[in-house]
Copies of this chain bind each other. A is one copy, B any other.
């Protein structure tokens, strides 16, 4: 076991050896294995955005096997998807890479005022599919957040009892949060803190922007003289807000965009002490060889080689 992985595991003193073993599996898998950095492939857009919008740009991606193979070939740390996609490949690729069952989802055929994700998976399913972790989305600030927090509490406790890792997607949303506020620095930091306090082992938030949403936070930042000018500085505050860096916090990239833009973001995450990226559309909506090249470059950035 590499020292950095040992160090990271040491932060999770309340977990049983089963969960630590599974966490180590994620940290040790792929080309970033042992570095303490991770890149995860998430593919829940089939539910979140619909199949055409998600997979028409690269029709090979309609096939659930495609994503297993992409993650394996690129040398990523793990692959996260809803029940159906995992069921469609878990036997064929058993043991080839760590799997994360995304436990809740939301389709966009209805524009709910109070966003909520529906639970579509279970700990039992994660175990029978050989997953190392479960993933769960919360929307802090949503009027329905209590439902989401309380289901997570039950699912996370059950997951930990069975030696699974808990990954929490924390996306602030709701009528009291402005559009810009959803990725505001204070709100992103708050989202990370909430996920950590809810008992997440791995936290996923969006990269924080320079905006500060809550007045009280703005005052506190000013008084403390917090540096927020660069992405790296803002990432650093989110890492700090994740138990002073003692929880793994990774960042999503959002909609597909140009390579340079992606690389700049990843360098910011790396330099700010972030633990890695979760890259979906930027990976699977590109043609396979192009995606492999992009993921290879991302890995090299985290390795400090690019």
Contacts and interface: CB of A to CB of B under 8 A. Distances in A.
A110 B146 CA distance: 11
A230 interface: no
A176 interface: yes
Interface in A221-243: 221, 223-224, 226, 237, 240-241, 243
Given A63-B246, A142-B110, A51 B190 contact: yes
Contacts of A105: 197
Contact of A197 (B47, B112, B150, B224): B47
Nearest to A161: B124
A84 B198 CA distance: 6
B84 A196 contact: yes
A292 interface: no
A110 B145 CA distance: 9
Given A87-B14, A199-B83, A52 B244 contact: no
Interface in A126-170: 128-129, 140-143, 145-146, 149-150, 153-154, 157, 161
Contact of A122 (B53, B157, B217, B221): B157
Chain copies in the assembled complex: 5
A61 to B, nearest CB: 9
A175 B12 CA distance: 42
Contacts of A263: none
Contacts of A57: 220, 223-224
Interface string A99-141: 0000001010111100010111110110011000000000011
Contact of A243 (B50, B63, B112, B226): B63
Contacts of A110: 141-143, 145, 174-177
A197 B63 contact: no
A107 B140 contact: yes
30 contacts: A13-B91, A14-B90, A14-B91, A46-B196, A46-B197, A50-B216, A52-B186, A52-B217, A52-B241, A62-B240, A62-B243, A63-B244, A63-B246, A82-B197, A83-B197, A84-B198, A84-B200, A85-B197, A109-B172, A109-B176, A109-B187, A109-B190, A112-B143, A119-B153, A120-B150, A120-B153, A120-B197, A122-B154, A122-B157, A124-B161
Interface of A: 11-15, 46-47, 49-53, 55-57, 59, 62-64, 82-92, 105, 107, 109-112, 116, 118-122, 124-125, 128-129, 140-143, 145-146, 149-150, 153-154, 157, 161, 172, 174-177, 186-187, 189-190, 192-194, 196-200, 214, 216-217, 219-221, 223-224, 226, 237, 240-241, 243-244, 246-247
Given A13-B87, A83-B199, 20 more contacts: A11-B88, A13-B89, A13-B92, A14-B86, A14-B87, A14-B128, A51-B189, A52-B189, A53-B217, A57-B220, A57-B223, A63-B246, A83-B153, A84-B243, A85-B243, A109-B141, A109-B176, A110-B143, A111-B176, A116-B146
